[in-house]
Every structure is written in C-alpha cells, then in structure tokens.
Structure 1
Amino acid sequence: MLTELRISGLGVIDEAVADFSPGLSVLTGETGAGKTMVVTGLRLLAGGRADPGRVRRGAEKALVEGRFDLAATATMDAADRRDLDELLEDTDVELDEDGSVIAARRVGADGRSRARLGGRSVPAGTLARFCAPVLAVHGQNDQLRLLRPDRQRDAVDAHGGDEARAALDAYRDTYRLWRDAERSLAERTGRARELAREADLLRMGLEEIDALGPEPGEEAELDARIRRLTDSEELREVAGQAHDVLAGDGETSEPVVGVLDQLRHRLAAAGDPALDPIATSIGQAVAALGDAATELGLYLAELPVDAAVLDSALERRHDLRALTRKYGTDVDDVLAWADRARTRLGEVDTSDSAVAELRSTVERLAAELDERGATLTRIRRAAGDDLAERVSAELAELSMGGARLVVRVTRSGEGLDGASESGLDDVELALDGPSGIVPLGRGASGGELSRVMLALEVVLAERSGGGTLVFDEVDAGVGGRAALSIGKRLARLARTHQVIAVTHLAQVAAYADTHLVVHKDTGAGGSDGVVSGVTAVADSDRVTELARMLAGMEDTDTGLAHARELLEKAQREKSQAQVDR
C-alpha cells in the first residue's frame, strides 16, 4: 500500500506531500492545478520514461519519493509476494521497522535519471519490477494498451486463476522442449553435409585429446617436475650436504643430531633443575632435526638419476602444449572444450538412427503440446465466458446496459502452425452493441474504454488482493448516473485494493475515504508564477470542494446543500454495502 508520496520540481508542483490511507482516495482540483503531475510521479516510480521536459522550469531536477507499506500486502498473490521478497534480497534492501520501504526516482533537467530503493541506487528497471505487483497506473495510454491482443489474453488468464496459470506453465514447458527439438531436427536434416564435417572435426579433436589423456592441473605439476629434474645435480649436492651435517656421512664427520643428543643427556644428568628446561628444548630440537634428516634422505632417494626421465617429461609437456595451441589456453580449457565437443557431437549426429530418434521426439512433443494447448484453450474459453458475463453486469451498472463484453478464444492457425509461447489461441475482447459485435479498438469511445477498464479491474480484483490501483480520469466522457456508478464501483474495488483516482466529478469524489485537493497558487514566487500543493480536506472543506466540482457554486447555500446531500448519500450507500457484504 502507498502511504506517502513526496514530489518536488515536477511540472507545476514545486513541493508537495500527499498521505494516502487504505480504501479509496481521490485527487481533485481545478484544471491546471497539477493533478496529472501526481499521476506522472507515480508513473516515474513504476519505471516510466524519464522526460526532462517534465522538470519544473528553473529547477535542476524533479524528485518523486513513495513510501510503500509492504506489511499491508498479506493478501498479495503468493507468486508476486515471493518475487518481491527475492527482489529485495537480491538488491540487499532492508525494510524499515514499520515494514515499509521508500522508492525514489530523480530526473535531472539534463535528462539523466536516478532510481533508489530502500536508500540504495538501483536501475530504473529494478524499480519497475518492485512496483509491478504493488502499483498499477491506469490512464488513457493504459486503455490503449487494453486494445493489444496480449493484454486481452492476460486479462482472461488472470481471471482463470490458478488453473489457467498451471495450464499455461505446463504448456510453456512443453513448447520450449518442442521448439528446441524441432530446430535441432531442421538443422540436422537441412545442413546434413555441413554438420557431418563438423562432427568429423569434433571426433578428431576428441580422439587426439583422449589419446593423450590430460589431467586437470597437470601442466603446473609437470613444470615443477621438469625444473626439479633439470636442477637435479645441484639439488642433490645441496640436499646431500644438509643430510650429511644432520645425520653424518658415515666416515669423517660426526652427525649434528648425535652431538646434540649427547649434550642433552649430559645436561639432564648434571642434577641441576635449572638445566632441565634447556635439556628438554635440546631434545625437541634433536627430534625435529632427526625428522628433517629422514625427509632429506627420502628426497635424495626420489631424485632421478636417469636422463630418460627428464626427456619423457619434456616430451609430455610438448604434447600438452600442442593441445593447448588448438583447443585452449591451458589443460583445463582443453578439458572444457572436450566436454562441449561431446555435447555438440550428440547434437550434430546426422546418422539415420539419430535423426529417426529425434524425429520421434518431435512427434511425441508435438502431440503433448497439442494436448496441453487444447486444455489451455478449454480453460480460457470457460474463463472468458465467465469474465464476459461478469464484466457485462458491471457495464450495465456503469450506464452501458446496451453493451455486452464478448470474449473470443479461437484456434490460431492449423495444427501447430499458430503455436506460440502463450498458447494455440487468439484471444479478443469485443463489445456487442447497436452496431453488432466489434473489437474494442473499433467499437468503443475513450469513455467506454475507461469504463470497460474499470469493469475489468473490479471483476479481476475478486481473484486477487493487495496492491495499489491508480485511475487517471477513468470517468472521462461520462456524467450523471454513470458517474455515480463509477464512484460505487471504485468504492467496491477499494474493499480489496488501495485505490487512488484522479477525477473531475463530484459524484465520484463523494465515495472516497480520503479526499485530496491539488491546489495552485498563481501568486507564488515560481519562475512561471504557479505553484501547486496537495491538501487533505474533510467535513465542511470537503463539502466546499464538492460544491465547486458540481457547478462552481462553493459560495452559495444551494451549491453547498447539494454537495452535502451528495456526500451523505454516497457515504450512506458505502456503509450499507459494507453491511450487505
């Protein structure tokens, strides 16, 4: 839930703070006051395009900050909540003590944009991913997006709920396997000669590598061994001298170990307690030097005396370097190439048996895809019929009783020719009205599209909860009884969502739980002479604003009485609806 919005330097808004509550909040104000800038700010938070032309004249930057209470998302879709938690963990963002997080977007007058989440710099795309499950903005552009086939299909799938989601996931898993297998088959049959040559080269390389049998890290070990073999005479002399000093040469010199051991015995036998620690230390040194002498003896025994051993090591290194010149920078790269080559060899096998096996796999997956696609089609048709019935009922309440929503789910192409990652269907929303059944794009005005969008949101909200829905002038082009119906529907939607609506109609604003007025001061000191702010109104101030919206009669007793009656009636209907629920 959005609890607070701060805007500075955006359009006519110099500095404004708006506090939002659960339920329905409306933004009203005179034309040019800056209501659209509030929605523009929310779009920026949702990852919208940063337009430097929106920066207030004379300002260096525009800044929008929104505080979201994520503790209020308990009713959010489980998958969305899981994705949101993963995003916060990946970006190392921690929630405040009250379970909220601040999202911010900065747009410079020079066009540069910055995004922050929980105080950390993030890409604008990350901010968009964060806002996707918690904030949805609907305006004229969004109504146009409703005309896109993919958005219409998504609406039907959303109404289908978990059953549609599971069927779509199963279909997509099979679709990807089928497409991969089909591409592989086409490649093997269409490029048989080229793939055969590639397979031969891969086999030759693998045979060469397997014949030598390199081991991981072998190069470093071999280089160390060659250095030891090359310097074996010098090493033998140095190690031998050290061994003779410690253990004796058996002829002339007396071993150091023996001399020290005799001293230890004499000190221990002297009978003076002060010498005992010294004797102990010498004993420890004798033990350590004895071990060193033993290790030197083993080292000398392992030093090769045959020059053929060095020749063999040098030849092995030469052979390994021949492989690294062809297949990688070192032996580990050569082994990695071999692994890739074995995988690729299985992919380019053009033998009759391999092609036949792959063709059988394609046919099996095609049959499975057709079956899963048919299941998805059946679920979509049932969901579409139910969606159409429910939305049509909402449209009747929105003064579009002569129109019905029609959802068409038709097979796309013959067989699997029209298969896509989204299914085997074309999904289309249409209106059945006086002109017959026509697609939304050809048979609906802007006002009708607004009401269809609202009706869809109301119906789809029955299967979801949580999140903030923002409607920018969803009541455009309507009035009278239709406006009252829109207010009722927004209030109903606000039972399960936080709803923020920009409206010019008092009939809609009267149903709000929170009423915010965007006001402008033409005498302010801004460079363009206009500064806008946001103020919450209640009681008599709210009645005055409703009277202004009704007919600009906020100064007359008649206008105020009409506004008060409208407000009381709307709030009474809301209360009764809660009881009936």
Structure 2
Amino acid sequence: MLSELRITGLGVILDAVIEPAAGFTAVTGETGAGKTMVVTALGLAGGGRADVARVRTGAERAVVESRWEVPPGPAGEPILGAVAAAGGSVDDDGSVICVRTVSAEGRSRAHVGGRSVPLSVLTEITEPLLAVHGQSEAISLLRPAAQRDVLDAFAGAGVPLERYRSLRTQWQSCVADLADRTHRARERAEREQVLRMGLAEIDTLGPRPGEDVALVATVRRLENTDAVRSAAQGALSALSFSMEAGQDAPNVSALLAEARRDLAGSGDPDLTRWDTTLAEAAAAVNEVGSELSAYLDGLDADPAALETALTRQSALRALGRRFGADADAILAWADDARRELERLDSSEGTIAALRAEAERLAGEVTTAAKVLSRKRMVAAKKLGAAATAELEHLAMGRARIRVAVTAREAGSADPADLLVVDGTRLHAGPDGIDHVEVLLTAHQGAPELPLQRGASGGELSRVMLALEVVLAGADTVGTLVFDEVDAGVGGRAATEIGRRLAALAATHQVIVVTHLAQVAAFADAHFVVDAGDDGSVGSSSVSRVQDDRRVAELARMLGGTDTDSAIAHAADLLTAASH
C-alpha cells in the first residue's frame, strides 16, 4: 500500500505531503484548490504520461515521491525482484521509495530505491500496486488484456490457464520443429553431409582424450634418444655397479653397504642405531636403479617410431584446425555433431512421427482451450450480472454491463498460432483462444459499446467502482484511486457510493477525490486541500482533519455554511457512516 505521497511543484501544489490510511482516504477541497492534482501525482507515480503543462509556473521541475509498503510473501517477491534487478534498495522498514521528476523543459526521469531507472521499470514495479480510475488518467481495466486477466482471477482460472500455456508451448515447439525439417530440407541435408564427413574423418583417426599432449612428450623423447639414454645410464652407474663388463668402480649402493658393515662392526649402540636409516636409503637407491633399468630396456631408438609419432601428431593438428584446438575439443565437436544429426533427421519416418505428435498435442491444446473458455464464459455471466447490480446503487440503474467472451478467429499472419476448434480456425495465443471485453449499455435502447466508448467520464469511474467492488476478492492491485467517481450524483446515490467505497476499503487501500460530503463521511482518513490567497498549496495547506474540523469541512461541502443546521447535518452523516 501507499504509506506516503510527497508532491512538489505540480500544478497549484507548491509542496504537500499526504499519508493515506490503510483503508479509505478522502481528499476534498474547494474547486480549483488542487485536489485533482493528487490524482495527477498518483498517475505520475504509477508511470503515467508526463504533461509539462502540469509543472508549476516558475518551478524548475515537478517531483512526486511515493513510499510503498510491499506486500509480504509471494505477492511481493516480483516487486522486490524488480527493485533489486534495477539496482535499487529497500529501506530498513521494508518499504520502497519511488520518485518521478518532470522538468519544465519536458524531461521525465524515474528513480526506484535510490537508483535511476527507465520509466518502464517504474511502471513494472507500481503496476501491481496502483490502479488509477479517473476521467483523464489511464484506466487499467480499459485494456482488453487487463479485462481478461480480471475475468480469469474472478473465475479462478489459474490452473487451467497454466495447463493450456504448458501444452501450447510443447505444441508450438513440435510444430516449429516439423516446419523446419520440412521447409529447410535442402539446408538440413547439406548440414547433415558436412557433419557426417567431419565425423568420418574423426572416427578414422580415432583421437583419444589428451592424446596430443602425450604425443608432444613422446616426440620430444624420441628426438633425444641418445642424450636421454646417456643420462639414464650415467645415473644408473652412479647408483649401482655398472652392467657393463669390466667396471667395478665404487657406487652409491656399494658405499651404503660398506657403511652399514662398518657401523655394525663397531659394537657401539650410538653408531649401530643408524643402520635402519641406511637400510631405507639403500632400498630407495635400489628402487630407483630398477626403474632406470626398466626405462633403458624400453627406450626405443627405432627411427620408424619417431616417424610414426610425428605423422600422428601432424594428423591431429590438421583435425584441430577444423574441429578444435586439441584432442579433447575435437572429441567434444564430434559429440555435438552426433546430437545435431539426431535433430537434423528429416527421414520420412521422423517426419511422420513429428506430424503425429503435433496432431496429438494440438488435440490436447484444443481440449485445454475449450475448458478455459467454458470457465471464462460461466464467470463472465456472473461478473456482468453482479456489476450491473452494483450500478443500480451508483445512480446508473438503467445501465447494463456484459462481459463478452468471444473466439478470436485466426488471421493469415499467424499460421504458427492457428488452431482448429470445432471446425473453426482460431488464434491460439498465450492466453487462450478468447477475446474478453467489458461492454456497457448506458440505458434501454442504447447500443452496447466497449467501456471507453459507451460511458462518459463520471459514468466510467462508477463502472470501474462497480467492477472493483465485485472483483475485490480477486483483484490483486493494492491501492485503488478514484477521481470524480461521484460526478453528477447526490442524495441517496452518493451515500451508496460512499458505502461501496468503504466496503472496497476492507480489502484494498482506497483513495478518493470527492466533492460530496456523503462520500467523504465514510472515509477512515480525510485530507483537505486548501489553496492560499495566491492560489498555491503549501506544506501546511494539505492537512488531515478530524473531529470538529472534519465536521466543519463536511458542513462546507454540504452547503458552504457553518450554521448550526449544517453542522448538525454533517455530524449526522458521520454518525450514519460509522454504523
């Protein structure tokens, strides 16, 4: 909900702060005092169109700062996620501050959580929080998509809608795959040939993981066989008696054996205790000697072996230039190529199987779409009847509301979304096969028209109120703003409007700009906008009125006087509204 609204330099408002109640807040004031600017400010806060003419004369900019308490749990997660994605931060109390600035030159800027963001981000964050219903403001329920969403929420169509979307995604993927295999057969065949030729070359050579690294070491060893043999032989001679005849020079093994004999013959415990250490050293020397002997025995000086290794290395490098930097990359390419070949299969059997799968999925999508449509149609009748009943209490007793659910016929431009349902070619969009529209008959004999064409500004606000009351349990928007919802009504109808706004405030935060005392009397919080002598509205000119001050404001709204009878009438209104 909206916990604070600060307005600076907007219209007649120089500087004002409003802290609306969690339930029903009324904003009143003399004509021209600036109360409608509160609605304009809320429209800007919600990402509405900026009108430079609204910037106060002489001011550099108009600034609207709104503080939002984000709903807890899953409902608030998308909002907090959008704030975080934009780089903004949440205040310590969990609220989010949004700022909209409109300069006198017409530049519009938005900030969320202390970070400058595109206007689209501000709209994304505030759209699930705020809906403004006014004569000159963007009204969310006028959009067909919003009307469909509201009907789905009223109908509880979440589960069938998700099933339809899931099946549609599978169906479209299958259809796209089939079209690709069918219409791009030549390209796919050429690609398939390239992949098979590459795999044939790789399979013929048969590279092994890490083979190129091992070949480098092998070639280096074979190219330096003589030097390597000399080094190994020299080390072996130094460690043990030479294997060559006629050489009996002392070596490490012999010297260690001699040292052990000398120490053992001394009979001194301080010397003989070193025998174990010398024995371990002798064992290590013998082990190294054995390894060197085995190495020398396996050392291949055959020039043919070097030639074979060099040839293999060259072949691997040639493959690497085409398929990967090393043996591992070549093998990875081969794995990817085999998987791609499976997808490229355009054989008659594969095409037939895909066609059968597409037909099966189309049948399931059709069934899911029809289930969704039936649910919508049943709910549409109930919603229309309930909204029409509400209009009887809002001085529109002759008006009728009907929620029309009609099938969307497919056009020539959307073959991918074409679905045949009961012999009719329909457009299967992501939200179903239905077009949902709220229609209004203003009075008996009048044509049935879409809301934006069939209602005047004041009537439109009352239609919105009727729908909001009916949809209170389904509408997830937290803050609802109404401007001139009571235009052209009075007496008992005005009281009924106030009562319905109060009922709506039980589940939503409701902010209403009104000129009727019968409506304002039902509010939980009452703010008065009072322009100064120069026509400006300063920080002290927007105030919350309570007790006697509120009674006096209601009396002014009733007749513009502060007589005892007007005061008594205003007090009676408050008493009646509280019961």
Q: Same fold (TM over 0.5)?
A: yes
Distance in 2 between residues matched to 1:260 and 1:31, nearest whole Å: 117
Identity of aligned residues (%): 43
Q: 3-state SS of the aligned residue for 1:447? A: helix
Distance in 1 between residues matched to 2:338 and 2:254, nearest whole Å: 59
Distance in 1 between residues matched to 2:276 and 2:10, nearest whole Å: 84
Counterpart for residue 536 of structure 1: 544
Q: Could you tell me whether the CA contact under 8 Å between 1:199 and 1:348 is conserved in 2?
A: yes
1:390-439 Cα deviation digits (max 9, x unpaired): 11111111121112211222222353432222112222221233214333
1:157 aligned to 152, 156, 168, which one?
Answer: 152
CA distance 1:290–1:120, change in 2 (3 Å): farther
Counterpart for residue 191 of structure 2: 198
Distance in 2 between residues matched to 1:492 and 1:207, nearest whole Å: 76
Distance in 2 between residues matched to 1:325 and 1:93, nearest whole Å: 48
CA distance 1:421–1:316, change in 2 (3 Å): farther
Report how far residue 370 of structure 1 moved: 1.2
CA distance 1:295–1:47, change in 2 (3 Å): farther
Distance in 2 between residues matched to 1:563 and 1:302, nearest whole Å: 112
Counterpart for residue 358 of structure 2: 362
Distance in 1 between residues matched to 2:195 and 2:338, nearest whole Å: 8
CA distance 1:94–1:64, change in 2 (3 Å): closer
CA distance 1:249–1:483, change in 2 (3 Å): farther
2:487 aligned to 470, 477, 487, which one?
Answer: 477
CA distance 1:498–1:112, change in 2 (3 Å): closer
Distance in 2 between residues matched to 1:259 and 1:353, nearest whole Å: 79
How is 1:405-484 mapped onto 2 (pairs within 5 angstroms)?
A: 405-413=401-409, 415-432=424-441, 433-434=443-444, 435-463=446-474, 468-475=478-485, 477-480=487-490, 481-484=492-495
| Structure 1 residue identity aligned to 2:358 | V
Counterpart for residue 518 of structure 2: 507
Q: Could you tell me whether the CA contact under 8 Å between 2:3 and 2:68 is conserved in 1?
A: yes
Q: 3-state SS of the aligned residue for 2:392? A: helix
1:425-458 Cα deviation digits (max 9, x unpaired): 2222212332143332332222222122112211
Report how far residue 521 of structure 1 moved: 4.3
CA distance 1:97–1:351, change in 2 (3 Å): same
Report how far residue 380 of structure 1 moved: 0.6
1:229-283 Cα deviation digits (max 9, x unpaired): 666766666677677667787854643996699599969997679x99x999999
Distance in 1 between residues matched to 2:204 and 2:475, nearest whole Å: 63
Q: Could you tell me whether the CA contact under 8 Å between 1:12 and 1:532 is conserved in 2?
A: no
1:390 aligned to 371, 380, 386, which one?
Answer: 386
| Structure 2 residue identity aligned to 1:380 | R
CA distance 1:42–1:300, change in 2 (3 Å): farther
| Structure 2 residue identity aligned to 1:104 | C
CA distance 1:45–1:477, change in 2 (3 Å): closer
Q: RMSD across aligned C-alpha pairs, in angstroms?
A: 4.5
1:353 aligned to 340, 345, 349, which one?
Answer: 349
| Structure 2 residue identity aligned to 1:396 | E
| Structure 2 residue identity aligned to 1:155 | V
Q: Does 1:5 align with 2:5?
A: yes
Q: How many pairs were matched up?
A: 554
1:512-542 Cα deviation digits (max 9, x unpaired): 1011234444669xxxx76456422211222
1:174 aligned to 167, 175, 180, which one?
Answer: 167
Report how far residue 495 of structure 1 moved: 0.8
Counterpart for residue 577 of structure 1: none
Q: Which moved more, 1:316-325 or 1:504-513?
A: 316-325
Q: Could you tell me whether the CA contact under 8 Å between 1:52 and 1:107 is conserved in 2?
A: no
CA distance 1:165–1:286, change in 2 (3 Å): farther
| Structure 2 residue identity aligned to 1:570 | A
Q: Does 1:148 align with 2:143?
A: yes
Distance in 1 between residues matched to 2:282 and 2:337, nearest whole Å: 58
Q: 3-state SS of the aligned residue for 2:471? A: helix
| Structure 1 residue identity aligned to 2:183 | G
Counterpart for residue 18 of structure 2: 18
Report how far residue 357 of structure 1 moved: 1.0
Q: Could you tell me whether the CA contact under 8 Å between 1:264 and 1:280 is conserved in 2?
A: no
Counterpart for residue 570 of structure 1: 577
Report how far residue 209 of structure 1 moved: 3.8
Q: Could you tell me whether the CA contact under 8 Å between 1:257 and 1:286 is conserved in 2?
A: no
Q: Whose radius of gyration is greater, 1 or 2?
A: 2
1:181-202 Cα deviation digits (max 9, x unpaired): 2223233333333332233233
State the TM-score, normalized to the length of structure 1.
0.78
Distance in 1 between residues matched to 2:254 and 2:61, nearest whole Å: 83
Q: Could you tell me whether the CA contact under 8 Å between 2:110 and 2:122 is conserved in 1?
A: no
Distance in 1 between residues matched to 2:533 and 2:249, nearest whole Å: 112
Distance in 2 between residues matched to 1:257 and 1:4, nearest whole Å: 95
Q: 3-state SS of the aligned residue for 1:397? A: coil
How is 1:287-306 mapped onto 2 (pairs within 5 angstroms)?
A: 305-306=301-302
Distance in 1 between residues matched to 2:529 and 2:229, nearest whole Å: 93
Q: Could you tell me whether the CA contact under 8 Å between 2:109 and 2:116 is conserved in 1?
A: no
Q: Which moved more, 1:263-272 or 1:359-368?
A: 263-272
Distance in 2 between residues matched to 1:46 and 1:559, nearest whole Å: 38
Counterpart for residue 64 of structure 1: 65
Q: Could you tell me whether the CA contact under 8 Å between 1:406 and 1:430 is conserved in 2?
A: yes
| Structure 2 gap ranges (5+) | 410-422
Report how far residue 25 of structure 1 moved: 1.5
Q: Could you tell me whether the CA contact under 8 Å between 1:446 and 1:476 is conserved in 2?
A: no
Counterpart for residue 28 of structure 2: 28
Q: Could you tell me whether the CA contact under 8 Å between 2:395 and 2:489 is conserved in 1?
A: no
Report how far residue 475 of structure 1 moved: 0.9
| Structure 2 residue identity aligned to 1:402 | R
2:201 aligned to 201, 208, 211, which one?
Answer: 208
Q: 3-state SS of the aligned residue for 2:406? A: strand
Q: Could you tell me whether the CA contact under 8 Å between 1:68 and 1:101 is conserved in 2?
A: yes
| Structure 2 residue identity aligned to 1:538 | Q
Q: Could you tell me whether the CA contact under 8 Å between 2:407 and 2:426 is conserved in 1?
A: no
| Structure 1 gap ranges (5+) | 573-581
Distance in 2 between residues matched to 1:53 and 1:332, nearest whole Å: 67
Q: 3-state SS of the aligned residue for 1:21? A: coil
Distance in 2 between residues matched to 1:151 and 1:564, nearest whole Å: 41
| Structure 2 residue identity aligned to 1:351 | S
Q: Could you tell me whether the CA contact under 8 Å between 2:458 and 2:487 is conserved in 1?
A: yes
1:306-350 Cα deviation digits (max 9, x unpaired): 555554554444444434433456666655554554444344332
| Structure 1 residue identity aligned to 2:22 | P
Report how far residue 157 of structure 1 moved: 0.8
1:101 aligned to 70, 89, 95, which one?
Answer: 95
Counterpart for residue 419 of structure 2: none
Counterpart for residue 576 of structure 1: none
